[in-house]
Structure 1
Amino acid sequence: MFSIETIGRLHPLLVHLPIGILLFAAALMVFARITKSDLGAAVSFAWGAGAFMALLSCAVGLLLAQSGDYDADMVQVHQWTGLLTAALGTVTFFTKKYRWIPASATVIVLSIAGHYGGNLTHGEGYLFSNGEEAFQAEQSSKPLEEQTAAVSDSTGKKLIRRTFIYRDQIVPVLKAKCYSCHSATKKKGGLRLDTEAFIKKGGKNGSVLAAGNPAKSKLFTYLLLPEGDDRHMPPKGKLQLTRQQIAIIQNWIQRGASFKEEIEVIEQSDGDQPIAALSLLPLPVDSTEGVAAAPEKPDLEATLLSKPVNAPDQQILKKLKAQQVTLTKMAIGSEYLSANFVNTKDFTPEIVQALQGIENQVVRLRLTGQPVGDQDVKHLAQFKNLTRLNLENTKITDSSLTLLAALPNLEHLNLYGTAVTDEGLAKLAASPNLKVVYLWQTRTTPEGVKRLLKARPDLKVETGTQQFVKPDTNKVLTNNSK
């Protein structure tokens, strides 16, 4: 089953249906009047279908709004114009004699709702771009010497160079590639990148910038991850940064990530060469991917993947694949694996036992929907490198949680639809690196969750319950004083 969060994410998909149907209904009315055709039944059906889909889209959109990742004021306008569109569509469906009046109002309000929806998804100004962003992006791709103001003194031996890297190079890249998801309009992951204060503040998962150290700055390292990785930025399908733009961000962080104009006095000799264009600097890299190492504490899995591991036994892999177990390498050239049992039809305890031969290589394990019990979970005791474990809709009980809490690298645990209770939940407080646990439709209670959070305030617990939108507390005042 879908979680509340997943259902909310269907809104961008569903919302296109009422837009198309309602506009088609209006077009049918115009066509019927021009051709003097009797299309009353078809027109009524279209308005009814469009109004129904608009109501459904509004309901799903309300769930999406609970994430708090979007600008509250703009969400309010989009929400009410969407509801008004559904209401006007319904009125148009029931109106016969003067249908063109509510129909015209529906189309107008629908256009307004769609415009604000576009702003929320793609950022403000997505429709009528004046070309400034494209110009800035082009400027940011130029070599450093083309973006600096340099003046020689009277002797010609000193070069005074004025650079404002953040304003002239970083902001254009962030605006062109990042603001659509990380600005005042949309704050995905609680992160905004549109001001100095918000960049330094970071997001829900902590800091994204370590001045002077690109290898520990998510703002840079996430750009280098494979596109298939959930943490890769921008997400797969979005316009990616060029190699030159990535180099700009890396060099800016390496130089100290200054948000102010810098003045340098450079002593020149006759043989000095012009300033070279930016290029990617050498960093500590993953031995299998060539990807910069991610920050150690926030990215335990990334640190783990940087360590060498022996190749898994091919006979074991062959046996697992014969049982429809999907085995995927965590990265190109890596020996670490993700094991997925979702497609396994004839599940037996022996299949889980077979995993014991590759316990050092399995980093992620999904046993979703399989008849897995506490006896099967015991076979996972030696999976010291396991970071993510999906046990939703399985038969496990509290007995399994003592063992799972002892896994040293476990970060994500999905217990949705299981029989775990508050007694077992308390055991997870001892899990050393657990970050997120999913408990929707379990036998746990709000009181049990509160006790766990009191013992582990750093833990994120997803219970599937709907939450009210919190006031926007992200409006941080930026100190522009020099």
Structure 2
Amino acid sequence: MLHFPIVLILLTTTFVLVGRLNPHFEKPVIIRSLLGSSVLFTLAAIMAGYLLFISDTYTGALAKNHFYGALITGGGITLSFICYEWMSTKGRPPGLIFFLFLGLTNFSLAYTSHMGGSLTHGSDYLSEPLVSLFPPKMEQKNPEDMLLYEDIVATVLETKCVNCHNENKSKGDLLLDSHEALLAEGKSGQKAVVPGNPEGSELMVRIQLPEEHDDRMPPEGKPGLTENELAVLTFWIEKGASQEIKQGEIEDDVIMTKLEEMMPDIQQAQFKILEEKAAFEAAQKELESIASNFGVTVAPDRQVNEKYFEMKMKFPPPPFGTEELQAFSPYFPYFSRISLASTNVSDDDLFYLAKMSQLRELVLQKTAISGEGLPYLKDLPYLEVLNLSFTPMEDAHLLHLLEFKSLKKVYLFGTPVKKEIVAAFQKHKPEIAIILEEGPSN
């Protein structure tokens, strides 16, 4: 349904151009059939896309631009068909107006296809492969001056391990986000890295566990360390896990060969880390500017290693409702923790909060939330904490929480929800803790 109209429009354009260059290939019957089919299938694709658009399966600026581009494409090919038929009835070949409409159709088709690719595969779906083929130029150290830990080992750990092993999320009681943390003893009594002893280093033990093992690093489904990365990491630990070892000081030819093979990937990873940091800093600057206009606080969320943001209300809470919430819409995917305590948000506003795909904790304490809008939130993959204390939460709407994917804790203090309803809910869904305390407001 989606790709067939693209093929038809391109095939139609090819036949028209070839026929224009060589009259022997000009076949009005074929071109008329292709144009008619293009119109029919393009309009069908637009209708299918419209149904997705209004169902909120796809939302945001990319989805809107994709849809509007499709409308222009559909209009362009339809006008091309009408123009071609009109010229045919007069026994004249297609003229300038026809080619203008057909050109508009193709330009719009290219734009719409790009928007569709960005919507499906991410905005960098074109540039990312190019980055791997042509690593961006960066200011590089002289290879002999590169530090084995800072420039190589730390980069490998950052890209494959630190997301789950940082000061805010220490999976398996291992911290891997700094040299100091690697050498420190965790609560379990184990050290991630024991200098000079790879076999006694918990990091190395877990990296080499079978893929199906619960303690394996990284977990199943995520890319593990390559043979070269494992060899370099082992070598670094054997040599004392020092921060001072430079590549120019390494005399092991095998390790030097492996480092040379790794270097393109290391450079690409370093560029991506810097690129993400720059994007995050730009988003932070813009969010802080928006927040200052509404008297709220936006800051990096330390509980997720400062990769996302949290929003809090100042005291006393400023006026904050639908309009203020929508002002943050371009940055919804950047939020992991939101507190809207004592604001004017309503159940309808949960529709917008549902677009915060990284949301972990949502505080709606002392708002007018009755629970009618809770179904909007049910598909959030990471939402674990929901504070509904002092809201007019209704008994029937509490049942919506049964459909939530990751919810672990709900605060219901001061709500009119009956105790027997709470008891029945907890019996049916024991993994979700219902807490009859006020809970934190920020």
User: RCO greater where, 1 or 2, for CA within 8 Å and sep 6 or more?
Assistant: 1
Greater helix share, structure number = 2
Is TM > 0.5 for Structure 1 vs Structure 2?
no
- Pair member with larger Rg: 2
TM-score category, normalised to shorter length: 0.3 to 0.5
TM-score w.r.t. structure 1 length? 0.36
TM-score w.r.t. structure 2 length? 0.39
